[in-house]
Structure 1
Amino acid sequence: MTELTSTEPGTQVRAFPLERGCPFAPPQQYAELREAEPVSKVKLKYNGREAWLLTRYEDMQQMLRDPRFESDIADPGYPLQFAFPLDLLEQGIVSKTLFHMDPPVHTKHRMILMPELTARQVEAMRPRTQEIVDELIDAILAQGPGPVDLVKTLTAPLPSIQTAEQLDLPRDTTDLFYRWIALLVTQGTAEEHASANAEVEMLLHRLIAERKANPGTDLISNIIKRNDERGGELSDLDLSALVRTMIAGGHESTLNGMTVGIFTLLTHPEQAALLREHPELGGQAVDELMRYSTVSDHGTVRVAKEDAEIGGVLIKKGEGVICALQAANRDPRVFSNPDTLDFHRKEASANLAFGSGHHRCAGQTLVRMQMEVLFSTLLRRIPGLRLATPVDELPFKGETALIDGLHELPVTW
């Protein structure tokens, strides 16, 4: 039963995140709320703030495209679910990333980054992605029939290697970046967040200075050059924030999406066999896996800049809103038989796993390509792959994580 907390006499508000019966499926109450109370009040377990929870696809699309809702993490009504040190923003030590900007500032910053993530640029990266995946699988096969942890050997290394190469990051810096990313999606302390953010910022300022003096062909050099061509609109602090956006966005969500995607394939052998036999379904399969196993469930949040009505409910200025993306991606009004994994599903690309509106994930084309290469190659090269641990014993990342996933994925073959 869902935990309820009382905030005013006679008023009960659900504690959020909602409890799950199965860690690998959305909370059952999402379906109930979607039909009976699609815009409902919740109270965050993390800090006690109240916010509105959306569970219908249509309402989320409306809200995410409505300029009356903003992404400002510093707003008192923002549904903050981790200990981000806001004083770093106030002191000018770090700048907001794309995740927490709104037009026209967001548009200006995004235009500096997007040429690095066009469909043509991403497709040019496909051969290297294939090489990395094959090299990682070679190493897995060399270990014998397992058990092997695919998080450690495959889904964590792939985005780490590709992001490091794209940014030309020094090898000795990656531990710092990924310690910082891990804090972003868990409930670490404010002191831990502040320390890691300050370290990352110092390192990025050094890298930006080095690339200004000796530019290369990497992403950091390219955004510096593009910014110069536009008259130096962005400061070094802003450029650093763009790099932090790429590192954060290109790692944790991708890693967990790949891990949960493989788990879903292994627990749906008929769909895995279909993809193995028809690799041309790769793009469609990725869309369906993103829909069915949405890992970033409640990290898409906004705050109302003025009164606005969503789903027949008045959301007042200053009130926060949380999108339950797993609920939207199982909405039967949009997806037929939504609780069924179906790689022939035509409407799968309509999923909201990458968000919507001007904040739709900038790196979605890259992530989809990486997943397509990974899933199809893994199924082809290790056709007998199977779980080495019972499903109910797998170490699922709990409700303190903003992104769903597994700490380990032991397999054999």
Structure 2
Amino acid sequence: MAEFRQEGQLGVERRAMLTGTIGAAAMLGLQACAPASGSRPATLRAPSRRTALVPIRISRDQLIDVKCCIRPLRAAGPNLDVETVGDALVIHNYGHGGSGWSLSWGSADIAVGKALSVLPREIAVVGCGIIGLTTAVMAQRAGLKVTLYARESIQQTRSFRASGSFTPDSRIALAEPAGPAFGELWERMARFSWKAFRTYLGLPGHPVEFGDSYQLSDTPITRREWPADPAITQNFATSGRPQQNSEFGHYSERIRDIVPQAQPLSAEENPFPQPHVRRSSQMIFNFASYAHVMLGEFFERGGQFVMRDFARPADYAALPQKVVINCTGYAARDLWQDKTIIPVRGQTGWLVPQPDAFYSVRYRNVSLTSKRDGIVVMNNNPDMGEMLGVGDSMELPNVADIEKGLEIMAPVFAPGFQAQG
């Protein structure tokens, strides 16, 4: 993978480490010896007892918002290349598919390390989505003066329209274009981010927290496989766009040892009317409080925010800072003419927050994720898998899909549901 595996870039990484980069790891206490990828000790089960849950209110009158966003899928994975524009050194950090939130700290660690390799005193970061804001804070923690340029603050970005859960390999890359070496890079970003997010647990406002997540089914739950369909003769290499699920890379097994895994519930434990249920613990992000904490740190460390739009790469050379980290997400498709970015449409509905019903449920093609800032509703076609929304750049919401999702989920909270008490 050119952006990170070339010998020259490895040299950048080594020099960056010598200047104390990735220094954020020391400051955060994030470096630790990781167990072998995918390993996990045997599970110990507690005695069976039924879980007491408050039913989620899913009537149409609870729906307060519908959001639509475009995720920037790059076949080879995120762009972390370095190039010069005029007399400016530009480090790219964009194209994370549906994994921008989840990989934000690990990706920023790499980008800031490359910036530090030339020993600047100050840098510019362009873009104030979750990747841009995290990169700016990471650079400050490494001792740099940072000016953040963006046409909008994080609350107005596509990042604020995401679902807000830890999904580090969601449409992150296509297996063949990314190549076999990408898995190691992905694992580095995922592990670093996981540890960084855990430093926000327990803070006021709960910017990051864990919640129980239940997967429900009317039939035994098995892992769905997506074998290549020989009838589909086109692929990314021939069409510039993936044509089937088998083209996507999946890397979550590499961090199985640190991420909670789903466990089946016995009949005695199961509070739902559906006979087959698995439960796990899910890391979630509460956008409002997380943005408040991050922006607070950015400004407390002396960060400057300049509202500005960029029309072309040459505009970067006009900045007073001569080291720039480009975190423009999907906008890089037009700004940098990066046509390797493939739009992937996503949509979420938001119900009124229900703090007493703090858990997530997945049933058929619908998911409900209860968070401090609302209950996220997603209605996805299970037969589409990762191909859902690929190539679709339409950002207007479709309320009917969310309403249909609420109808599908209604049987979950039918009289058979074991309410609290």
Q: Give the number of the structure whose residues are more often helix, by fraction.
A: 1
The verdict on a shared fold, with TM-score over 0.5 as the criterion, is: no
TM-score band w.r.t. shorter chain: under 0.3
Q: Give the number of the structure whose residues are more often strand, by fraction.
A: 2
TM-score (norm 1): 0.23
TM-score (norm 2): 0.23
